[in-house]
């Protein structure tokens, strides 16, 4: 049993740590630069945990979110954009360095878990958390636990083909994964920018403001993005039927996701009525580190945290 929980968000340029009390309140939070090498990163995370336990006068469970996943077959990291993590026994090495079990999970799953436990999806049994940003990812949470699957790819909806494609959406764009027509290539930030402003455009941040000002090209781009997202979420509802869908990532503050998309989904869902709520995240940039902390269930903490300030 531990006194509190620690989450670590392992990013490409920074390592963020947060300590949460049993009720989810933040005890501490800080960031340090990611040293960029495997051995140095292990040492840096060990030092952060040691400092946090010293400050809070107790012991903690530790969870880590990474931009990749642990292969169930080998126990090695796969699909990490910090490529020097790939092929390394990250979870095992962290556990040895910190002299305890350390749980490591994909960062999209950590986002979904954070929002399911005490965020926008709190109180709902099945939550589908999606990321719309530089890429498109997601995580499935059932009863406050990550559903990962035997290949550790559950929730990776961004690398399924765009459903119900229109003739004007051909030829399908090539994706880095090697396939064509992936959802990611239609819904991510750079895809929205390119659809509005032409090939090579990558920044979509100005498009909602331009649409609000009446620019027809921006309005049309957001309408297409809304319909494509509605199709993709309807597909998810058809095979998963979650109690809620929570949106995170760099596009998550765009109003069309919540103003237009919910009314469009029903056309594609195989049900005479669709009431699945489409929710904006609550914890924002904190979701990753909070979700990593929640990789350990509630019962792993002491019932009375008298040792924690």
209 and 147, same domain (yes or no):
yes
Element (H, E) at 223: helix 216-240
Q: For residue 232, tell me if it sits in a domain.
A: yes
132 and 249, same domain (yes or no):
yes
87 and 151, same domain (yes or no):
no
Number of domains in the chain: 2
Q: For residue 243, tell me if it sits in a domain.
A: yes
CA atoms within 13 A on the CB side of 174: 2
Q: For residue 197, tell me if it sits in a domain.
A: yes
39 and 150, same domain (yes or no):
no
253 and 177, same domain (yes or no):
yes
pLDDT for the residue 302:
73
Residue 116 has pLDDT above 80, yes or no: yes
136 and 276, same domain (yes or no):
yes
Query: Of 219, 290, 299, which Cα lies nearest the Cα of 259?
Result: 219
Q: For residue 305, tell me if it sits in a domain.
A: no
Q: Measuring CA to CA, how many Å separate 196 from each of 183, 188, 288?
A: 17, 13, 30
Mean pLDDT estimate for the chain:
95
169 and 243, same domain (yes or no):
yes
Q: For residue 30, tell me if it sits in a domain.
A: yes
102 and 173, same domain (yes or no):
no
258 and 125, same domain (yes or no):
yes
Q: pLDDT tens, 132-184?
A: 999 999 999 999 999 999 999 999 999 999 999 999 999 999 999 999 999 99
93 and 136, same domain (yes or no):
no
Q: For residue 172, tell me if it sits in a domain.
A: yes
- Burial grade of 284 (CB within 10 A; 0-12, 13-18, 19 or more): middle
What confidence category does residue 287 fall into, taking pLDDT thresholds of 50, 70 and 90? very high
CATH number of the domain bearing residue 253:
3.30.420.40
Q: pLDDT tens, 34-68?
A: 999 999 999 999 999 999 999 999 999 999 999 99
Q: For residue 175, tell me if it sits in a domain.
A: yes
99 and 143, same domain (yes or no):
no
Domain hosting residue 9, numbered range: 4-107+293-300
Supply the pTM of this predicted model. 0.94
Q: Measuring CA to CA, how many Å separate 183 from each of 148, 188, 225, 235, 276?
A: 20, 8, 11, 11, 20
223 and 127, same domain (yes or no):
yes
- Residue 90's φ and ψ, nearest 5 degrees, are -60, -50
> Using CA atoms, how far apart are residues 155 and 152, in angstroms rounded to an integer?
9
Q: pLDDT tens, 194-235?
A: 999 999 999 999 999 999 999 999 999 999 999 999 999 999
Q: For residue 266, tell me if it sits in a domain.
A: yes
Residue 307 has pLDDT above 70, yes or no: no
């Amino acid at each position: 049993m531990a006194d509190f929980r620690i989450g670590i968000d392992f990013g490409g340029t920074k390592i963020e740590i947060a300590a949460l009390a049993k009720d989810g309140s933040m005890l501490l939070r800080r960031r340090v630069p990611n040293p960029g090498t495997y051995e140095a990163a292990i040492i840096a995370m060990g030092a952060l945990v040691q400092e946090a336990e010293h400050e809070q006068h107790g012991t903690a469970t530790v969870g880590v979110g990474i931009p990749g996943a642990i292969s169930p077959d080998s126990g090695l990291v796969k699909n990490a954009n910090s490529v020097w993590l790939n092929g390394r026994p990250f979870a095992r090495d962290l556990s040895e360095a910190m002299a305890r079990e350390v749980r490591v999970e994909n960062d999209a799953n950590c986002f979904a878990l954070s929002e399911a436990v005490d965020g926008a999806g709190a109180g709902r049994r099945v939550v589908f958390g999606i990321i719309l940003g530089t890429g498109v990812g997601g995580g499935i949470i059932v009863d406050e636990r990550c559903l990962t699957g035997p290949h550790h790819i559950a929730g990776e909806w961004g690398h399924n083909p765009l459903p119900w494609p229109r003739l004007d959406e051909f030829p399908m764009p090539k994706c880095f994964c090697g396939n064509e027509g992936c959802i990611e290539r239609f819904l991510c930030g750079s895809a929205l920018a390119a659809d509005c402003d032409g090939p090579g455009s990558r920044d979509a941040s100005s498009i909602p403001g331009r649409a609000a000002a009446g620019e027809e090209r921006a309005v049309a781009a957001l309408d297409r993005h809304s319909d494509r997202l509605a199709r993709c979420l309807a597909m998810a509802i058809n095979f998963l039927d979650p109690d809620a869908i929570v949106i995170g990532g760099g596009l998550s503050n765009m109003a069309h996701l919540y103003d237009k998309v919910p009314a469009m989904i029903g056309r594609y869902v195989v049900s005479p009525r669709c009431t699945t709520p489409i929710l904006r995240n609550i914890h924002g940039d904190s979701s990753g580190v909070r979700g990593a902390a929640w990789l350990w269930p509630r019962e792993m903490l002491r019932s009375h945290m008298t040792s924690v300030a």
